[in-house]
Structure 1
Amino acid sequence: MALAIVHHPAFDALFDEAHRFPMSKFTRLAEILVEDGLAPNGFFQPIAAPEGWLELAHDAAYVEAVLAQRVDRATEKAIGFAVDERVARRSRCATGGTVLAARLALERGLACNTAGGSHHAAREGGAGFSVFNDVAVAASVLVADGEVGRVLVFDCDVHQGDGTARIFANDHAVFTLSIHGERNYPHPKAASDIDLGLPDGTGDEAYLAVLPDLLRTAFERARPEIVFYNAGVDPHAEDRLGRLSLSDAGLAERDRRVIGFFRERDVPVAGVIGGGYSRDIEALSRRHTILHRVAGEFA
């Protein structure tokens, strides 16, 4: 069975090429998956997340402001771009995509979104290129609907998943883990259930060496019925905002070890692409496909 991959054209909000957020990577990522035969049956297309889903993880006033495109200037500055109609739709569809990927993972064992990982958005508002916290919404939807009782968020983006940590700080149903660059954004850090801040220039060998103990500890403490895996590629050596110096092979082996650990234990995994920042959209988009290529080994 081919890997279940979720995509929607609205994931690309059509930013100008000069914008510091590489929005066009979402379109090119999907094109590469098709060109390389990784999506032989096409994509699963999500619905835009309804208001009720969004309010499980975000304040109702903030949700209404995004949907009406009335987000205040201070919050837009924290996010890093204006929340217009295209951005609002993109954020709802990406969130719906992670919910769909999670439900597909519960059915099939594994599924991946071609967006997601917007982990800086907290309950009160967005930040760090994150409008809605798609993983937090998806985890909250599954728990609220009784589809799962225990969730693990395993976040390997180079930036700490501070929004996710804050949303679930007092929620024993969702266990949060973040492996990130200690000196990187955000400042200050939040408190996840497990945090590991790594030094600049860590590299493949040292990064991969920390995974076994983290995986075992997270599994034993969380006892998850589903794992949301944030496979950010911004730890890469060539990423504009990373500094951990991983290679393509290192990212692939990271994904293989994380996904393999949980699938060997029959725990469903929903993958999201997380961060990745480069002016070279082709190289960046191909780097994001590492998640889908490796996940395909387990499908």
Structure 2
Amino acid sequence: MLKIAFDPIYAHPLPEGHRFPMIKYELIPEQLLHEGTITPDNIFAPVPVEEEIILLTHQSDYWNKLKNLSLTPQEERRTGFPLSQQLVQREITIAQGTIDCCYFALKHGIALNVAGGTHHAFTNKGEGFCLLNDIAIAANYLLSKGVALKILIVDLDVHQGNGTAEIFQNNPAVFTFSMHGKGNWPYKKERSDLDIELPDNTDDKLYLAILRETLPLLIEKEKPDFIFYLSGVDILETDKLGKLSVSKAGCKERDRFVFEQCIYHKLPVVVSMGGGYSPRVADIVDAHCNTFRLAKDLYF
């Protein structure tokens, strides 16, 4: 059965001006349920992740600042959100959702977290709407338990996974692959194991050609036993922050190709949604829903 992590706290209310990036989290499962792609049985609500698991990835000083709501004003501004206990609760719930998805993926081949993809969170700081790095937390958890020995992170959000790159810069058990806009934020990039920088206005043809040339060879070379996939839809031509020119059909084909490679190589994959900032929320929701629709069609 397709399993999807979602908790209402994912879409918790924020002050005016901060709500738009969050509304998609409640609309995605609503749409999938409405159209019959999923039923309530497909959805599970994770509990908050344990502190000791967070500390496998994030420095204790930083985590203590988060849980005690004691970030400096500058540190808080960097995250893009006003810090609150509810926001911290949201982050630790998302992280456990990604961990839980790992076990469902091991059983069924794939599982998806409606939120997550918080790849701008570093070991010791947050930025870009990211406080804790859910994929990094889940990857380190799998490694600590011996569930996985070599992990590949496929980050296809339009922004570089700079926090993820920093976290795993000295860890040969995790290979970080980020394909992102060259001219996009963050303007000071970190160094992933493989970075592919795309020029502004990259279209379907170029985007998919690069992905098709890169991913199969990368899997063959690195031989991972587990994949995390960050499926941001901010690559869309409609995205107000993305600077690329990928159509919704091209974005869907991207997801299809990643899933087909995972199926071909018999690799479990956990998907976190990542970014999406098109002016019409319907475009964001539909593009994200395509990822879930494909997962159901290809795996079940």
Per the shorter chain, which TM-score range? over 0.9
Match status 1:53 vs 2:23: no
Aligned partner of 1:90 in structure 2 is 90
Helix, strand or coil at the partner of 1:229? strand
Distance in 2 of aligned mates of 1:285 and 1:87: 22
Pairing of 1:168-187 with structure 2 (within 5 A): 168-187=168-187
Displacement, 1:221?
3.0
Structure 1: runs of 5 or more not aligned = none
Distance in 1 of aligned mates of 2:17 and 2:130: 19
Aligned partner of 1:116 in structure 2 is 116
- Structure 1 runs (4+) deviating above 4 angstroms are none
Helix, strand or coil at the partner of 1:178? strand
Aligned partner of 1:285 in structure 2 is 285
* More displaced 10-residue stretch of structure 1: 80-89 or 12-21: 12-21
Aligned partner of 2:238 in structure 1 is 238
Displacement, 1:71?
1.8
Displacement, 1:21?
5.1
Aligned partner of 2:74 in structure 1 is 74
Match status 1:257 vs 2:253: no
Displacement, 1:13?
2.2
Distance in 2 of aligned mates of 1:15 and 1:222: 41
Aligned partner of 1:39 in structure 2 is 38
Please list the CA deviations of residues 258-286 of structure 1 after superposition, one character each: whole Å capped at 9, or x if unmatched. Answer: 11111111000111101111343333222
Distance in 1 of aligned mates of 2:296 and 2:154: 19
TM-score with structure 1 length normalisation? Answer: 0.96
* More displaced 10-residue stretch of structure 1: 274-283 or 257-266: 274-283
Aligned partner of 1:100 in structure 2 is 100
CA contact (8 A) 1:15 1:24 kept: no
CA contact (8 A) 1:22 1:279 kept: no
Displacement, 1:20?
6.8
Distance in 1 of aligned mates of 2:102 and 2:221: 21
* More displaced 10-residue stretch of structure 1: 18-27 or 89-98: 18-27
Helix, strand or coil at the partner of 2:154? strand
Distance in 1 of aligned mates of 2:137 and 2:101: 12
Displacement, 1:53?
1.2
Distance in 2 of aligned mates of 1:65 and 1:138: 21
CA contact (8 A) 2:239 2:279 kept: no
Helix, strand or coil at the partner of 2:21? coil
Distance in 2 of aligned mates of 1:244 and 1:128: 19
Distance in 2 of aligned mates of 1:213 and 1:288: 24
Helix, strand or coil at the partner of 1:23? helix
Distance in 2 of aligned mates of 1:17 and 1:286: 24
Distance in 2 of aligned mates of 1:76 and 1:16: 15
Displacement, 1:218?
1.8
Aligned partner of 1:195 in structure 2 is 195
Helix, strand or coil at the partner of 1:177? strand
Distance in 1 of aligned mates of 2:264 and 2:99: 23
Aligned partner of 2:228 in structure 1 is 228
Aligned partner of 2:218 in structure 1 is 218
CA contact (8 A) 1:34 1:42 kept: no
Distance in 2 of aligned mates of 1:189 and 1:284: 26
Aligned residues: 298
Structure 1 counterpart of 2:204, which letter? D
Structure 2 counterpart of 1:77, which letter? R
Q: Are the structure 2 counterparts of residues 111 and 283 from structure 1 closer, same or farther at C-alpha, using a change threshold of 3 Å?
A: same
Identity percentage over the alignment?
38
Displacement, 1:88?
0.5
* More displaced 10-residue stretch of structure 1: 278-287 or 147-156: 278-287
Structure 2 counterpart of 1:92, which letter? I
Aligned partner of 2:156 in structure 1 is 156
Displacement, 1:234?
0.2
Q: Are the structure 2 counterparts of residues 120 and 286 from structure 1 closer, same or farther at C-alpha, using a change threshold of 3 Å?
A: same
Distance in 1 of aligned mates of 2:11 and 2:69: 17
* More displaced 10-residue stretch of structure 1: 61-70 or 173-182: 61-70
Structure 2 counterpart of 1:26, which letter? Y
Please give the root-mean-square deviation of Cα atoms over the aligned residues, in Å: 1.3
Distance in 2 of aligned mates of 1:232 and 1:279: 15
Distance in 1 of aligned mates of 2:78 and 2:257: 34
TM-score with structure 2 length normalisation? Answer: 0.96
CA contact (8 A) 2:238 2:279 kept: no
Distance in 2 of aligned mates of 1:75 and 1:264: 43
CA contact (8 A) 1:180 1:196 kept: yes
Structure 2: runs of 5 or more not aligned = none
Distance in 1 of aligned mates of 2:82 and 2:7: 21
